[in-house]
Amino acid sequence: MTENNLPEFVKANLHVHTNISDGSQTLNEYILESLMSRMEYIAPVDHDTCDSWLNLTESAGPIFEIKKNKGFVKITALGNLNQEIRTEKNSLEVLHGIELTTLLDGKKIHLVGLGIDEPAENILIRLNSINSTREVRLKELVSEINYRTDEIYAGLYLDWPEVKAVMGPSKSPSRLHVGIALQIKYPFLFKTPRAAMSACVNHNLESYAFGGDKFYSARDGINLIEKTLHGIAIIPHPDRIFENGEIGNPHDVIRKLVEYGVSGIEIQNPEFEYCLEEYHLLASIGSDSHGKFDGPGRAKMRYTTKLERSQLEKIKDKINSKK
């Protein structure tokens, strides 16, 4: 609390994607922008990969000073980023994160891990094998789009290299890349990649269901994050909890994930704040932003989400208690 008894907020975004999954920016670019925007905490949580932060040391360049802790990296700007912040030391903490794709009762749901250790080789191999299914699935999706002649599909055709080109260095390509390729090729039909996705990618339900046997179950995913990697498992975007677009009953799913041992939940939608008291969960916040691929509104949230400082401290305390 501050002097006037109002809660103090901290600029934090604990759920963002880099170009190692399906975001538009490198982690370096995001760190730079976050320093300029006076963010205090960020967490890159790419889909089933940790490569963005695992490779941070080599790629950070001369403008940052990096101090590694267990589960965190502290980044300090060396004072020459731009005129505005030249006069003072400016720093932020990068939490080691991941967004795991898991299965609960046969349905895909995501789990965010924060403050995790560097995964051992056998875990990295499992994650790679999960991600190797993604290109196969996207190829199927593209052929479905090309094959269909009904409605909007009649005028659309994508060559696989056009999709491959927008994936760049991604380790975990997603439907969003197909949306980007469509938007680039048909800018008059689709204003944003998301518009292309909702017009024709998200209806391809057969491709949606692809994936299967390599994913962790939700219970195993939580154990991986909480016990093996000594981080905390967070329920992301509870208002769209199923990855197949079903609404279902998120409250039942939350109850199960609590039984399996999750530590927290994202509360950007206040409807889920009840979980903090009812299940003693930690509060986390994240825009789930993919940079400029999202369109202007959500892209801005990349630098503006806030969490009460006391809640952020609880997250840090719990992570530190496990190290």
Report the interface residues with Zn ion, using CB under 5 A: 99, 110, 288
Tell me the C-alpha distance between 155 and 143, whole Å.
14
Q: 181: how many CB neighbours lie within 10 A of its CB?
A: 25
- Smallest gap from Cβ 148 to Zn ion, in A, equals 27
Residue 76 beta carbon to Zn ion: minimum distance, rounded to whole angstroms = 27
Q: How far is the CB of 231 from Zn ion (least distance, A)?
A: 16
**Smaller CB separation from Zn ion, 96 or 110:** 110
Compare residues 98 and 156 and give the one whose CB is closer to Zn ion: 98
Report in angstroms the alpha-carbon separations of 197 from 36, 193, 194.
31, 6, 5
Q: 62 to each of 73, 86, 223, 229, 256, how far by Cα in Å?
A: 16, 15, 37, 30, 46
Q: Which two tokens stand for residue 45?
A: 């949580």
CB of 23 to Zn ion, least distance (A): 9
The two beta strands, 107-114 and 97-104, are: antiparallel
Least separation in angstroms between residue 61's CB and Zn ion is: 26
Residue 31 vs 235, nearer CB to Zn ion: 235
Which two structure tokens, joined as six digits, stand for 154? 């009649």
Q: Residue 12 or residue 158: which is nearer to Zn ion going by CB?
A: 12
Name which of 138, 135, 100, 124 is nearest 51 in CA terms: 124
Residue 269 Cα distances to 13, 108, 123, 168, 251, angstroms: 14, 21, 32, 32, 13
State in angstroms the smallest separation of the CB of 301 from Zn ion: 13
In whole angstroms, give the CA distance from residue 22 to residue 321: 32
CB of 46 to Zn ion, least distance (A): 8
Which of residues 110 and 137 has its CB atom nearest to Zn ion in the complex? Answer: 110
Q: Which residues pair with 73 in a beta bridge?
A: 68, 94
**Closest residue to bound Zn ion by CB:** 110
- If phi over 0 gives left and psi between -120 and 50 gives alpha, with beta otherwise, what is residue 245? left
- Would you say 81 or 301 has its CB closer to Zn ion? 301
Query: Would you say 156 or 194 has its CB closer to Zn ion?
Result: 194
